[in-house]
């Protein structure tokens, strides 16, 4: 365990060159992923098949030798386990039946463990098949971000449906977020017990919330997850990624209890250094610099290493790698970070 560089950073240690992995590193920019997904059928079929999910998780490790592998799954397996009819439509993203306020009290998580068992089986397979030095990251979606999809039935530009839902139905929103936090905590505990070294909580839509809503919807549910996970797995290492949180990042670690802060590319490096004084940070290269390559990539990497390399840093993008990222640019990124 001591040789897994990413875990050393989560403990607050400065490691240089820093460990590197990329959000969505198993994805459509890789030809081997596209081939496997075509064989798997639907996207959820890929997530729930341990053979396929293990294979696509390992593909970027084999090709690039990243310091960490992240479980291949999706944040919407939780509402899928609540029988919300999650489906993925080509070119349009996830869809489900929008939930009504009166339906929240009837949500039944009783068979969620059975529903999610294939994902846990994938975690166990991965830990057995990954190189010893490679950190295995489990994950879930944060309750607020998962709730936005459940309420709107799809992704929306500013999550207005979920924000309005919260203003008009505060009790039902609290009940939904509480249920999602409880389920997510149980899910992360099972991942850690199956072999995950650490976990990340993705709050992709925290940036649309005002300050009061951020406290209620983004901070409080994640704090509950962290509390419950650590009660079951003492010392569990947790990365929080509240994308777009801006100035509200300053107290997020303290209020939620996460070990590391994932930073999007909009976070100034001067502010990131202040956050790093509290503990590990992760990020935060603009994914478009990776697509551009060349000088744009070199300058972006150099700025992050110069600004954050003297403290605990996990190098990553400020959000997920996109399908049009050239493989040669990913290889160049690794050389730039590792000094090769």
The CA distance from 77 to 58, in Å, is: 20
203 assigned to active site: no
From 149, 187, 217, 252, active-site residue: 149
111 assigned to active site: no
From 28, 87, 95, 174, active-site residue: 28
230 assigned to active site: no
In which element (H, E) is residue 270 found?
helix 269-276
From 4, 8, 24, 190, active-site residue: 24
In the chain, where the domains are located: 5-338
Torsion angle, CA of 142/269/308/319, rounded to 10 degrees?
Answer: 40
Is this prediction's pTM over 0.75? yes
The CA distance from 333 to 320, in Å, is: 15
127 assigned to active site: no
Burial category of 136 from C-beta neighbours within 10 Å (exposed 0-12, middle 13-18, buried 19 and up): buried
* CB neighbour burial string for 264-290, b if at least 16 within 10 angstroms, e if fewer: bbebeeeebeebbebbbbbbbbbbbbb
Tokens of 100: 């009504």
pLDDT in tens, the chain (340 residues): 457 999 999 999 999 999 999 999 999 999 999 999 999 988 999 999 999 999 999 999 999 999 999 999 999 999 999 999 999 987 788 999 999 999 999 999 999 999 999 999 999 999 999 999 999 999 999 999 999 999 999 999 999 999 999 999 999 999 999 999 999 999 999 999 999 999 999 999 999 999 999 999 999 999 999 999 999 999 999 999 999 999 999 999 999 999 999 999 999 999 999 999 999 999 999 999 999 999 999 999 999 999 999 999 999 999 999 999 999 999 999 999 999 6
- Whole-number pLDDT of residue 1: 44
- Whole-number pLDDT of residue 212: 98
Per the CB < 8 A criterion, the answer to whether 261 and 12 are in contact is no
From 4, 8, 33, 37, active-site residue: 37
From 74, 186, 203, 286, active-site residue: 74
The whole-angstrom distance between residue 36's C-alpha and the CA centroid of its chain comes to 22
The CA distance from 104 to 164, in Å, is: 16
- Whole-number pLDDT of residue 340: 64
Per the CB < 8 A criterion, the answer to whether 77 and 53 are in contact is no
Give 280's DSSP letter: -
Give 133's DSSP letter: T
End-to-end Cα separation, the chain, in angstroms:
25
User: Strands 238-242, 198-203: parallel, antiparallel or unpaired by DSSP?
Assistant: parallel
33 assigned to active site: no
Identify the architecture of domain 5-338 in CATH. Answer: Alpha-Beta Barrel (3.20)
Residues with Cβ within 8 Å of residue 202, at least 6 apart in sequence? 75, 139, 140, 141, 142, 145, 241, 243
């Amino acid at each position: 365990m001591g040789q897994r560089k990413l875990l050393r950073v989560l403990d607050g240690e400065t490691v240089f060159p820093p460990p590197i992995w990329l959000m969505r590193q198993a994805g459509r920019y890789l030809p081997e992923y596209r081939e496997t997904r075509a064989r798997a059928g639907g996207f959820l079929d890929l997530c729930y098949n341990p053979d396929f999910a293990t294979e696509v998780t390992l593909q970027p490790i084999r090709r690039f030798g990243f310091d960490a592998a992240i479980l291949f799954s999706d944040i919407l397996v939780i509402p899928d386990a609540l029988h919300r009819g999650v489906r993925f439509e080509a070119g349009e993203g996830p869809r489900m039946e929008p939930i009504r306020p009166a339906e929240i009290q009837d949500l039944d998580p009783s068979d969620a463990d059975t529903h999610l068992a294939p994902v846990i089986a994938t975690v166990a397979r991965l830990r057995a098949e990954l190189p010893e030095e490679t950190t295995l990251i489990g994950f879930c979606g944060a309750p607020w971000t998962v709730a936005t999809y459940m309420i709107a039935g799809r992704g929306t530009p500013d999550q207005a449906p979920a924000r309005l839902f919260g203003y008009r139905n505060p009790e039902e929103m609290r009940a939904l977020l509480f249920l999602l936090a409880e389920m997510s905590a149980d899910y992360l505990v099972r991942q850690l017990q199956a072999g995950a070294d650490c976990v990340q909580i993705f709050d992709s839509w925290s940036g649309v919330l005002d300050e009061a809503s951020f406290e209620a919807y983004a901070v409080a549910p994640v704090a509950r997850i962290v509390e419950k996970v650590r009660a079951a797995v003492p010392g569990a290492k947790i990365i929080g990624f509240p994308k777009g949180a801006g100035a509200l990042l300053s107290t997020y670690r303290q209020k939620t209890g996460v070990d590391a802060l994932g930073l999007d590319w909009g976070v100034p490096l001067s502010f990131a250094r202040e956050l790093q004084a509290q503990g590990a940070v992760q990020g935060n290269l603009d994914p478009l610099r990776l697509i551009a390559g060349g000088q744009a990539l070199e300058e972006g990497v150099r700025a992050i290493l110069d600004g954050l390399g003297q403290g605990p840093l996990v190098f990553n993008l400020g959000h997920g790698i996109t399908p049009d990222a050239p493989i040669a640019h990913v290889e160049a990124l690794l050389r730039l970070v590792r000094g090769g």
